[in-house]
Amino acid sequence: MVGDPLTGLALVALAIVIDLMIGDPRSLPHPVVWIGRFISAFERLWNRGTAQQRRISGFLLTIIVVGGVWGISWLALVLLARVHPGLALIAELWLLSTTLAIKGLGDAARAVVEPLTKGDLPAARKALGMIVGRDTPHLDEAEITRGTVETVAENTVDGITAPLFFALIGGAPLALAYKAVNTLDSMVGYKNQRYADFGFASAKLDDLANWLPARLTVPCLWLAGLLLDVTGILNLRWKGALSGTCRDAPRHPSPNAGWPEAMVARLLGVQLGGTNYYQGVVSRRATLGEPLEVLQVTHITAAVHLMHGAWLLFMLLSVVVIAGISFFFKGLL
């Protein structure tokens, strides 16, 4: 909403600070919760009929939810700005912070690390089950680690760099519209009997929305790995990681999730992917990376370090690009 790109950049930076400080406290209302309730209500009403009818209904729901979220947030900020510009800035700052999950993702990973470090596999499985859809009751340490590392890698895009990307382009309304796309995909974008047709439009739009952010995140993860390695903070395998990622990522069933997952796998020297179970049904995915090291709890902590390094570098590079563009156009005036 802010016209000046540098001011918009400052707002996004402040939103990051807010997210790092308080995350998503349950006591405060959250736009994604409201979006989810709306989707759930209309899914029950509209997900019926023939396959073609379901596809049309799912397409309409996608348009209504994404367009409605953008329009309502844009109008709310415009009306608040007419009352007082400060109110609009505060509202946009809060809305921006709700689109980010930096603290939440780190906390979720640590919730697995703590019991896993103590050898408490049941507690670690339960913590992992809170953030993944796969069956977790019988996983060993390596599989618990794999699930957590994959989640951290994928959500570095979905929960951090992609919202930042859209926030920097179009402020809170566009960032919230992205979260609406993401929420639709997470609720109805499954390739099963119930959602294959109804969620088709949502899944395709999510693939489109994440295409560029996922690929922009890969070099940020690689640079983070390089810096963490050369500074001696972590021992990472950044040499050959870019070429290895380019080979591995297209094998993932998702056109986007494979990119951050493959890069993290290459940097850590581990193998991700393989066999998962969903409600007892086996799902086999191509493997990413090479098993140079046995998956263990320390790899989760390393993945969290890479996540933080990636978003920091993403923001740093954004500052350089936005500042460069601003100064260029000012020079033309």
The 10s digit of each residue's pLDDT in 175-198 is 999 999 999 999 999 888 899 999
Cβ-count burial 291-326 (b if 16+ within 10 Å, e if not): eeeebebebbebbbbbbbbbbbbbbeebeeebeeee
Q: What is the pLDDT of residues 259-282, one digit of tens each?
A: 999 999 999 999 999 999 988 889
Cα separation, 177 vs 65, in Å, equals 8
Percent of the chain, pLDDT > 70?
Answer: 98
Domain extent for 270: 5-332
The predicted structure's pLDDT at residue 332: 64
Mean pLDDT of 65-76: 97
Dump pLDDT digits (tens) for 72-99. Answer: 999 999 999 999 999 999 999 999 999 9
DSSP conformation letters of 210-250: HHHHHHHHHHHHHHHHHHHHHTTSS----TTHHHHHHHHGG
Provide the whole-model pTM.
0.94
Q: What is the rounded CA–CA span in Å between residue 289 and residue 244?
A: 7
Please check whether residue 209 is in contact with residue 63, taking contact to mean a CB–CB distance below 8 angstroms: no
Task: For residues 29-37, give the mean pLDDT.
Answer: 91
C-alpha closest to that of 111 among 93, 97, 94, 125: 125
Quick one: average pLDDT of 146-170? Answer: 97
Specify the number of domains making up the chain.
1
Bridge partners of 268, per DSSP, are none
